[in-house]
A = this chain, B = another copy of it.
Amino acid sequence: MTEIKRIAVFCGSSTGTGEVFMKSAALLGQEMVRRKIKLVYGGGSVGLMGQIAKTVAEGLGEDAVLGVITEDLAPREISGAPHGEVKVVPDMHTRKAVMAQNADAFVALPGGYGTLEEVMEMITWQQLGIHAKPVGFLNVNGLYTKLLSFFDDIVSAGFVSAPRRAIAQSDTDAAALIDKLIAYQAPDNIIKLAKEGKLDQARG
C-alpha cells in the first residue's frame, strides 16, 4: 500500500492526432482532483502536459501543480502563463530527479520517445533500489499495448525477472490505474535500498 499525495505525470507536449488523447489527460486530472492528489509534471503549457496541469489547477488550485522544466525546453514548451509553480532546472537529469523526489507515484499518459524514456528511467531506478514508488501506464486507445507486450517478451526471453515485470503497472482506466498504484508493493529488497536515500544521490 502506497499513500499517494502527488503523482508525477509523464506525457507528450503535443495533443496527439485523436481527441481521445487530450481527453485522457483531462480524465486522469479529474480523477486526481476527486482524490485530492497533486501533480508534478514536465512544466509545459501545450498538448497533454497543458491539459493535465489545467485540470488539476482548476480542481485543486494552482498550489497543487508543480512544473519542472529545463532552461532549454522552457521557450519551446511554455506558451502563455503556465499553471502552478514552475521550477526551471539546468538539465533533463535534474528534471527527472526533482520530479521523482516530489512524487509518490509515476504515471505515463500517451507521449513520444521522451515520455517512454522518462518512465523507463523511473522503472530502472526502482530496479536499482533508488526508489520504491509505483509506476503505471495509462493505456489510452491501446497505445501502450505493444510496449506492454514487449515487456512480457523480455521476461520470457530471460532479461527481466518475472517479479520485476510488476514494476510496470497498467490500465485503460485512470481510476483503476490509481487503485493499482496504491495497492502496489515493491519487493522488500528494493524498499530496503530505497530507504537508504538513494534518490537524493540520484539527483547528483
Determine how many copies of this chain the complex contains: 2
Inter-chain contact B204/A93, CB cutoff 8 Å: yes
Inter-chain contact B164/A16, CB cutoff 8 Å: no
Inter-chain contact A14/B158, CB cutoff 8 Å: yes
Which residues of B have CB within 8 Å of A123?
Answer: 113, 117
8 A Cβ contacts from A83-127 to B: 91-93, 110-117, 120-121, 123-124, 127
Q: Chain A binding site: helix, strand, loop or mixed by DSSP? A: helix
Inter-chain contact A159/B204, CB cutoff 8 Å: no
A residues with CB within 8 A of B:
12, 14-18, 21, 72, 91-93, 110-117, 120-121, 123-124, 127-128, 141, 143-144, 146-147, 149-151, 153-154, 156-160, 164, 167-168, 201-202, 204
